[in-house]
Amino acid sequence: MDTRPKDAPLPYYEQPSPGTGSLPARAWYATSDAARHDLGGTWDFRLSPTAEGADTGFIADDADLTPNEWTRITVPGHWVLQGHGAPAYTNVSYPFPVDPPRVPTENPTGDHRHVFDLPADWPAGGESVLRFEGVESCARVWLNGTELGTFQGSRLPHEFAVGPLLRPTGNVLAVRVHQWSAGSYLEDQDMWWLPGIFRDVTLLHRPEHSPADFFTHAGYDHTTGEGVLRVESGTPGTVTVPELGIEIATGEEVRVPAEPWSAEHPRLYTGELATPGERIPLRIGFRTVGVRDGLFRANGKPILFRGVNRHEFHPDTGRAVDEATMRADIELMKRHNINAVRTSHYPPHPAFLDLCDELGLWVIDEADLETHGFCYFPDWRGNPVADDRFVPALLDRAQRMVERDKNHPSVVIWSLGNECGAGHGLGAMAAWIRERDPSRAVHYENDPTYRDSDFYSRMYASHEEVERIGRRAEEPLEDPELEAHRASLPFLLCEYAHAMGNGPGGLSEYQRLFETYERCQGGFVWEWIDHGLPVQTADGEPYFGYGGDFGEELHDGNFVCDGLVFPDRTPSPGLIEYKKVIEPVTISGDSAERTITIRNGYDFLGLGHLSFGWRYEAEGVLLASGELAVPEVVPGATAQVPLPEPPAGDAAGEGIWTVTAALAADAAWAPAGHEVAWGQIVDSARPRVAPSAGAPTVAARREGTTWTLGSAVFDAASGELRSLGGLTLHRGPVLDLWRAPTDNDEGMAWEEGTRLAQRWRELGLHRIRHRVDAVGADGDTLTVRTRVAPAATDAGLLAVHRWTATGEGELRLEVEVTPEGDWRVPLPRLGVRLGLPAGLGHVRWYGGGPGEAYPDTRAAARTGRWEATVDGLHTPYVRPQENGARIDVRWAELRERPGAQGPGLRLTAGERPLMFTARRWSTEELDAAAHTPDLTPGDTVWVHLDADQHGIGTQSCGPGPLPQYHLTPAPVTFSVVLRVLGED
């Protein structure tokens, strides 16, 4: 048997060093006049279960690709998403035994082979390089039978000089890719493990006298309004920017009046670097960034990051993301007022940064580095960032990122990586970066001394902690020098507001803190997209799967679905909320004072690019509208504008002005008319009139086993409403406390070490019992007294339901709830639920909308008249959970047909507007579902009318709801009028 001698060197894939044979890193650029040839396409492929089980005969010209071993695969792509092996998801845990730099013998290995001809016009002379933009996790490369080298560093470019090996036709490129390598220890990011050649493979001609590399330094002097340009190039040449009349030699500096680049106004100047061998288009954005006087500034001004963490993800192709998808991401971000991206947790495809330059986003470019799985060992024992053997690989990761991306104006901060604890390897990276590119700031979060960081950066800190840091009242570090350093830094939340499932809650309150405390320069929501992968039920119904759906023995479930957009990039309610919370213009007002206050929250822009409009609605019906003249307002300032007169006359219903700010002209990322911001102002002169308690029209009568109240029939034993004016109820309104726990309800409270949902279940809130204490007439009122409680506890809620008939086919229900006993947990919800016939599938309502909203996720809910189907009210979270509530609902109608048509039921809230939810499955069915196809419509539309719900918070990873959003059991009374609607 073949065994490796004990002291033999480790194979290349287990070497902690970054590899052999590749060229020094250099700047990426999309085009030049040098020839390039894309090698992507369909390649030959063979998967082996181990690193060395298969021979390397496939590198030969005349290799015999045995048909039952070899198949075809798309490059770029991941083999596990193309039918070979399976994806696997772990968050923190390494999915293999931890013994760096060794990896398991079971090491899926993909042999890739591609035969290509050189384009007929491929230039003679010069050099040609073979470039890989990304291969996970380790590759060994041969061209025409000659080994070029090996490399690790999955999300980094690697180039090999291949000129002398090329032939006009029949070039055989062979790439062996191992899923696991020593590099895997550095790539423990929270995402799917997806091996493969997942980014472009390109053959690039390097003409003689073309620059080996170049570095564009384009600063902006805000004191003079000048751009300062210097381009360094290995090969001397000329730099021209015709629009600015610039023509300089490389290495020479020029200052010219210019417009600055910012994420808000991404002004790019087109230029060219011409050396004798190559002409390279330049896209120059003049900006100067850095930390000065404790604040991160761009062009002299402190900026506020309204950011998001972006992983590269497409449900069909994993981290092989095409340019259209990248552009779609950025457009969607810009349309939702996002101004910054942290490229969590690796450098993105380089084309993404070109798009950020062009469309305008501030970028924290993060090195391909995370060693989080070592946190499970005492003091992070074995952590590669504190291990000399890995330092060259760490430096390589810093260098390849910086060299590749250094010419992008959008990149303003280099981040050393994510969740690596502390170690001297990080210090080495920071030192190298600072030396090579002092023009940008450096970020690292996970070392509490921040010795290598220009930011005091935290993730998932509570509002309270952020406030403390904002006030500069944080607990000092012991070491005075480190304390002085940290105290000098601006504060960032590099991750916050974990967008898993329903949520995140509490965004508005974070934003207030960012706006209040200068030191708090904003944050980056975790994260952009749910990484759900498409799967199908046995009968072909498609849905999105998550960890554990692919046979993984170790996985972290749906923690991989925690984005602001669903896997198919449909915005989730969390994104709509974020857009509202971070809107760059805030519109408020006072109807008594007759003013609208408009605040410009941009860092650089005025308001000239926006057009303002207003509408006046009475109970959601438009009465008047117009344009609003708004004077120019400088960033940070406010203007007062007179509120348009409310229309005369006495149209019924609550009066509300809605003021909007929309793009006046097309932007690169959205068409003219795109709404950027809005605000509503309630007309104090025309308040809502709640339905009066009304004089009861008929008396309650007992008839056998029923009670009747006009056209309403009640069950005499349970007190439940059975029918009203010919409409049969499947379930009468009964008190309800339970909701299908959200991912945040299921999240671990960091301080207490318990999960709210678990406490709810331990108390039995999912198996509540209703004891009927009395059903009887009390004059014109039918009173139903119940005690609602789970088994095994003496905590309960006394609920008194008072029914009166208030008109033909109309009933008023008042519910008075009094808690008794020892309630130690907040309630999930407090309201009534009723079951209606499935035919009532169309909903119209007046209240908060159009999307779902909860007490701490309600900024984006605007008051108006809205319409949806019952199916359309449902939010399809990848893991089903409580969703779809509409807040502050004054009335809702459920009908058989769209519009104000068809028979149905109208529900009108009393003094207190209610939360309204309608769905085709019960809370219990929603709670039991693990994937969307587990939800199947039954014969009932379940309607919830809640006085309140517990807040949402962001405890799936972070703090729970703020105290003011806890639904603490307390006496409450709410009422609703039910009226049967005829065919009208």
Active site residues: 419, 495
Q: What angle do CA 910, 916, 918 make, to 5 degrees?
A: 135
Nearer Cβ to ligand IPT, position 450 or 916?
A: 450
Answer whether 112's CB lies under 8 Å from 177's CB. Answer: yes
Spatial contact of 670 and 635, defined as CB atoms under 8 Å apart? no
Q: Which two tokens stand for residue 211?
A: 């620059």
Question: By C-beta, is 815 or 957 nearer to ligand IPT?
Answer: 957
Name the residue whose CB lies closest to ligand IPT. 190
Determine the distance from the C-alpha atom of residue 735 to the mean position of all C-alpha atoms in its chain, rounded to a whole number.
35
Q: How many residues does the chain have?
A: 984
Q: Which is nearer to ligand IPT, 148 or 497 (CB)?
A: 497
Upper half-sphere CA count for residue 668 (Cβ side, 13 Å): 16
Select 95 or 653, whichever has its Cβ closest to ligand IPT: 95
Query: Looking at beta carbons only, is 58 or 455 nearer to ligand IPT?
Result: 455
Q: Amino acid letter at 189?
A: Q
DSSP symbol at 463: H
Residue 957 CB, nearest approach to ligand IPT (Å): 4
CB of 545 to ligand IPT, least distance (A): 18
Closest CB to ligand IPT among residues 460, 974: 460
Q: How open is the CA angle 570-572-574, to the nearest 5 degrees?
A: 150
Closer residue to ligand IPT in complex, CB, 258/401: 401
Question: In sequence order, what are the residues at sequence separation of 6 or more whose Cβ sits closer than 8 angstroms to the Cβ of residue 722?
Answer: 706, 713, 714, 715, 728, 729, 732
Written as six digits, the tokens of 478 are: 């012991």
Question: Cα(882)–Cα(180) distance, rounded to whole angstroms?
Answer: 39
**470: phi then psi, degrees, rounded to nearest 5:** -60, -40
Strand order across the 972-981 sheet: 768-778, 781-790, 796-807, 810-820, 972-981, 904-909, 891-895, 842-849, 862-869
Q: What angle do CA 527, 923, 536 make, to 5 degrees?
A: 60
* CA pair distance 120, 97, nearest whole angstrom: 50
Separation between Cα atoms, residue 426 and residue 442, nearest integer Å: 11
Shortest distance, CB of residue 33 to ligand IPT, whole angstroms?
41
Judged by beta carbon, residue 562 or residue 927, the one nearer ligand IPT is 562
Query: How far apart are alpha carbons 180 and 182 in whole angstroms?
Result: 7
Distance of CA 338 to the CA centre of its chain: 11
Q: Say if residues 273 and 243 touch (Cβ distance below 8 Å).
A: no
- Residue closer to ligand IPT by CB (options 531, 739) is 531
* Cα R_g (the chain), whole angstroms: 32
Q: Report the C-alpha gap between 729 and 677 in whole angstroms.
A: 42
Measured over the CA atoms of residue 290, residue 294, residue 299 and residue 305, the dihedral's sign is positive
> Helix, strand, coil proportions of the chain in percent (round to 5)?
15, 40, 45
Beta-bridge mates of residue 415 = 366, 443
Dump the DSSP string for 764-791. Answer: TGGGEEEEEEEEEEETTEEEEEEEEEET
Which CB, 418 or 875, lies closer to ligand IPT? 418
Residue with Cβ nearer ligand IPT (311 or 920):
311
- Residue by residue, DSSP assigns 850-894 as SS---TTS-TT-EEEEEEEEHHHH----SS--S---EEEESEEEE
Give min distance, CB of 91 to ligand IPT, in A: 5
Instruction: Please state the closest distance from residue 164 (CB atom) to ligand IPT, in A.
Output: 43
Which one-letter amino acid corresponds to residue 359? Answer: L
- Structure tokens that stand for 788 in this block: 């609602």
Distance (Å, whole) CA 567 – CA 314: 7
Q: Shortest approach of ligand IPT to residue 345 CB, angstroms? A: 6
Question: What does the DSSP assignment read for 933-969?
Answer: GG----SEEEEEEEEEE-----GGGS----GGG----
Q: Smallest gap, in angstroms, from Cβ of residue 421 to ligand IPT?
A: 12
Minimum Å gap between C-beta 190 and ligand IPT is 3
Name the minimum Å distance from CB 157 to ligand IPT: 23
The arrangement of strands across the sheet holding 253-257 comes to 214-221, 226-233, 253-257
375 or 395: whose CB is closer to ligand IPT? 375
> Is-contact 492 522, C-beta < 8 A?
yes
User: Residue 637 to residues 508, 605, 762, 953: CA-CA distances in angstroms?
Assistant: 20, 11, 52, 31
If 0-12 CB within 10 Å is exposed, 13-18 middle and 19+ buried, where does residue 378 land? exposed
Find the shortest distance in angstroms from Cβ 459 to ligand IPT. Answer: 5
Phi and psi for 706 in degrees, rounded to 5? Answer: -130, 165
Report the nearest approach of ligand IPT to the CB of residue 88 (Å): 16
Q: How far is the CB of 344 from ligand IPT (least distance, A)?
A: 6
- In angstroms, the CA 161 to CA 144 distance is 13
| Least spacing, CB of residue 494 vs ligand IPT, in Å | 8
Residues within the interface to ligand IPT (CB under 6 A): 91, 190, 345, 418-419, 459-460, 495, 498, 526, 559, 562, 957
Q: Which two tokens stand for residue 479?
A: 């070491």
Looking at beta carbons only, is 329 or 419 nearer to ligand IPT?
A: 419
Signed CA dihedral, 641, 647, 648, 650: sign only: negative
